[in-house]
Structure 1
Amino acid sequence: MPEQISAETNDQTPRSTRGRPPDEVKHEAMLAAARALFYAGGLKRLTMEGVARTAGVSKVTVYAHFSDLPGLIRAVVLAQRDRMTAVLEALSTDPTQLRQTLIEFGLCLMDYLTSDEFLTLQRMLASQAMQHPWLGPIIHQEGAEATCDKLAALLREAVQRGGLREHDCRMAAEQLLGMWQGFQTTGLMIGGCAKPAPQALRQRIESSVDLILSAHAPEGEAS
């Protein structure tokens, strides 16, 4: 279940937020409220009024920060992407550690793609995409496309360093993402399979990375 966000007045600001700009505190409170409402009940629960009430701010303040409902949802998706990006940015940039970097990337990503939060989002999207055609493109572009771009950039940097031979990095990134996910994300979404064990997931990720690296290894180095 998503975390419950309680409305707070300025006098009830948590200690961790004291000293920070009021607008930043309000912005984060509204994002947290929107995220909780979104995952709790989708667009039926997520309204500008609901976010204002849950975050303890005025509706005018919500509109000032996000302008409309699509803008609010985009901000929620971007916040999730930023959390993942922060983890990915911490990965090694040592050219000799490309394999391990890709494996860590895969573990981080698949931990999210097999989470209850992601599965709830996918089910919600499947049921509401027809009524709200603007919803799918936001989630796809800011989620899947942005992730693929990040992975392709890692491969492109390896090509520039000479660690991989020239190839279509975007296609290779899509192939790697596809191998990591396999059928399991679809199975999880419809309740057709159990969440993979950590060791099984690591083996899938490692073998997929090894396949891609072998396929695009510099001439004379491919196994």
Structure 2
Amino acid sequence: MEFATEATIRTQSGKGAARQIRRQGQIPAVLYGQGTSRLIQLDPKAIQNILVTQAGSTGLISLTIQGDEQAQQRTAVIQDVQLDPLEGSILHVDLLEVSMDKPVRVKVPVHITGAAPIGVKRDKGVMQQPMRELHIECLPNVIPDQIDVDASALEINQGIHVRDIRVAEGIKVLDDPDGMVVNVAVPISEEKLTAMLTSEAAPAAAAPEPERAAEEPAAPTPANPSEPPK
């Protein structure tokens, strides 16, 4: 999927400049690629609208850059987004300029498809998904919105590794082939879960106070140190 938005060149960098840009209702950003980096600023609503879509983190962005003698057109993908940890608002965006005839490396979300795994429906197992995205390399025009993984046939203690995933021609998965993407684990009984929670909630036993060493009495001081002993 391809999106379109505008950017404006900015000349100042640093935390102070970034705060000023945000106060003006824009987002500071950097466009990397082709051996250079360009300081730009973006409309937060436009970026937010891209990110909320299913393909927002992987889709191509047709970027019109204003501020030079004439507007420039660039094609980019979102490389990184920094969010405010409290408010969740966008603080900064890194974009990567791409060339349509050169492979790029991006992270694509993993989407579990199909019915609930057999081990979950029949044996009350627990489905776990350790990997929620895969790192891939491909040409920009074949970047998938997501990678579908069918886990419906999994039984307890079975899983799907990176090496088991089939992707379209021209896409190379860069993650460790032995990495576990999704699996079905043995269920935990209510009694065991209660015992675990109770154990964690119980206050740790107070450590015994170490015994204090007996103090040796101080040597008596003679009344007149200069007087010889009698």
> TM-score over 0.5 for the alignment?
no
Please state which structure has a larger fraction of its residues in strand. 2
Larger Rg: 2
Q: Normalising to structure 2: TM-score of the pair?
A: 0.26
Please state which structure has a larger fraction of its residues in helix. 1
Q: Normalising to structure 1: TM-score of the pair?
A: 0.26
